[in-house]
Amino acid sequence: MKHLSIELRYLVYAAVLLGVIWVPYILAHIAQVGPIKAFSYSAEDQMPVWAKRLKRAHYNLVENIPLFVIAVLAGEFSNVHTSTTTACVMVFFWARVAHPIAMVANLWGTRTLAFAVGWIAVLVHLFTVLAASA
């Protein structure tokens, strides 16, 4: 049985996060307007403020995960597995876990910091793969 690299394992973790992060805000929307209205896909965006923030964090992850996927797959195809690439995928994942928490908590600067840390981790990963593959 072939084992996943740490980089691929964290890619799977990020996919799981992406796959479940929408559940709380959808449940909040259903609780706010009721199932009939929620399932009718009304144009109204009636949900608690925290749920709206979580939805924005979810969309932000949707927009940013492709760069992470490219970084991890480039490393896999190039067989580049270093302590730096390992650290980068872990930092990205935990920054992306922190991002929706920071978004919902609405503490000044924490959302931006979590986003920036994750983004920098992906860039370092990409440059590490490029440098090792040169």
Q: Domains (ranges, CATH) in the chain?
A: 6-133 (1.20.120.550)
CA 133/CA 111 separation, integer angstroms: 33
54 pLDDT above the threshold of 80: yes
Looking at the chain, the whole-number percentage of residues with pLDDT higher than 70 is 98
Residues for the chain: how many in total?
134
pLDDT for the residue 95: 98
pLDDT for the residue 1: 65
User: Any residues with CB less than 8 A from the CB of 101 and at least 6 apart, and which?
Assistant: 114
46 pLDDT above the threshold of 90: no
| pLDDT tier for residue 44 given thresholds of 50, 70 and 90 | low
Q: What is the mean pLDDT of residues 49-77?
A: 97
Q: What is the mean pLDDT of residues 42-51?
A: 81
* Entry pTM: 0.93
Q: What is the mean pLDDT of residues 7-31?
A: 96
